[in-house]
Amino acid sequence: MSHSFAIIVSLFNSFITDKMLDGALSHLQQAGIEKEQIHVTCVPGAVEIPLVAQLLAKSAIYHAIICLGSVIRGDTDHYDYVCQQVSNGCQRVMLDFEIPVIFGILTTDTEEQAIARVGGKEGHKGIEAAETALIMAEIVENI
C-alpha cells in the first residue's frame, strides 16, 4: 500500500494524546506504512485541529488525516464548545475536501475514562483511529 497519512495531535492532555499517537503510529507501521509516509503535526489544543486538517487536506498529499485529542469535562461550559467546534470542523474538512478525516478525539467526563480508552478496558482509540484511516483510504481509493 502506498498511501500517505497525516496525523494531527493535540498537545493538551498530552498524558493521553501521547499514548494515542504512539498507538496510531505503531498500528500504521505494522500495516506496512513506512515512517516517511506519515506526517505528524502537533497543535496546542483540540480547537486548532480543524484548521490544520484543512491545510493538510488542501495539499492533496494525504489519503487520510487522523485527528487525535483529548477533551476532558471540567466545571464550565468550555467542554461543550470545544467538542462542538472540533467535531463540526473535522466533518466540514472531510466533506469539503472529500478526504477521510478520522475523529480520534476523546470526549470524556474524567481522566480515568480517558485513560481507559488508551490501552485500558475500553480499548485503544489511537489504534482504532489508525485502523479506520487505513480502511477509509482504501474505500475512497476504490470508489
Of the listed 27, 63, 78, 124, which one is catalytic?
78
Lowest mean pLDDT among 5-14, 52-61, 72-81, 127-136: 72-81
Please list, residue by residue across 9-45, b when 16 or more beta carbons sit within 10 angstroms of its beta carbon and e when fewer do. Answer: bbebbeebbbbbbebbbebbeeeebeeebbeeeebee
Is residue 110 scored above 90 in pLDDT? yes
Is residue 1 scored above 60 in pLDDT? no
Cβ within 8 Å of residue 124, ≥6 positions away: 19, 20, 23, 117, 118
Residue 98 CA: distances (Å) to CA of 65, 85, 101: 11, 19, 9
Is 78 an annotated catalytic residue?
yes
Q: Cβ distance 47 to 88 under 8 Å?
A: no
Tens-place pLDDT, residues 91-107: 999 999 999 999 999 99
Which SS3 state, helix, strand or coil, does residue 39 take? strand
Tell me the average pLDDT across 116-143. 95
Return the higher-pLDDT residue of 75 and 101.
101
Is residue 120 scored above 90 in pLDDT? no
Q: What is the pLDDT of residue 92?
A: 97
Q: What is the pLDDT of residue 78?
A: 83
Q: What is the pLDDT of residue 74?
A: 77
Cβ within 8 Å of residue 76, ≥6 positions away: none
